[in-house]
Amino acid sequence: MRDGIFCALFVEFNKGKGTMKNKIILNIPHSSLQLSKEFLQAKKVLNDDEIENFNLQMTDLFTDKLFSCKNFSHIKAKYSRIVCDVEKFVDDKKEIMAKYGLGVIYKNNLKQKQIFSNLDMAYREKILNKYYFPYHKKLDNVVGKYLNGMT
């Protein structure tokens, strides 16, 4: 998955009726401005205004409203991507944006200014285990249900 809205479309041909049946999953990873308790409590170099501006710059505002359709499954990140970018690779060696400090856990803002005064592995693991992996488990489960229904 890459930045933006990922929409998985599964089309199934209904042989009996000759009609197409669409199954759409809307993945909306970047519409939230909410910051987690862990992020708010971490010691940061950026001041509150810089955090707020960066958060606004990185959020795809209202995509959850724009793509709110009751007929489709939705997966929406609860927290801002500046807390945890669920569309990035966990391994920074595989994530091209990590070299700019914009991996799965953001280290820098868009001006390449450091966000945290001390970002340790314990913080990273806690964020991944609390937000990244559960999000992907939910996404995998929803996709799996659609795929299993197609066999």
Total domains in the fold of the chain? 1
How does pLDDT run across 76-122, given as a tens digit for each residue?
A: 999 999 999 999 999 999 999 999 999 999 999 999 999 999 899 99
d(CA 17, CA 12): 12
How does pLDDT run across 24-81, given as a tens digit for each residue?
A: 788 889 999 999 999 999 999 999 999 999 999 999 999 888 887 777 778 899 999 9
Which band of pLDDT confidence, cut at 50, 70 and 90, is reported for residue 4?
Answer: very low
Residue 144 located in a structural domain: yes
Residue 1 located in a structural domain: no
For residue 62 the two structure tokens come to 């209202």
d(CA 86, CA 64): 16
Higher pLDDT, 18 or 145: 145
Q: Does pLDDT of 5 surpass 50? A: no
pLDDT for 18: 46
- Give the range among 15-24, 89-98, 126-135 with minimum mean pLDDT: 15-24
Residue 36 located in a structural domain: yes
Residue 124 located in a structural domain: yes
Whichever domain contains 11, its CATH number is 3.40.630.40
> 135: closest CA among 38, 60, 27, 34?
27
Range of the domain at 58: 6-150
CA 147 to chain centre: 22
Could you tell me whether strands 73-76 and 19-28 are parallel, antiparallel, or unpaired per DSSP bridges?
Answer: parallel
Query: How many H helices and E strands in the chain?
Result: 5, 3
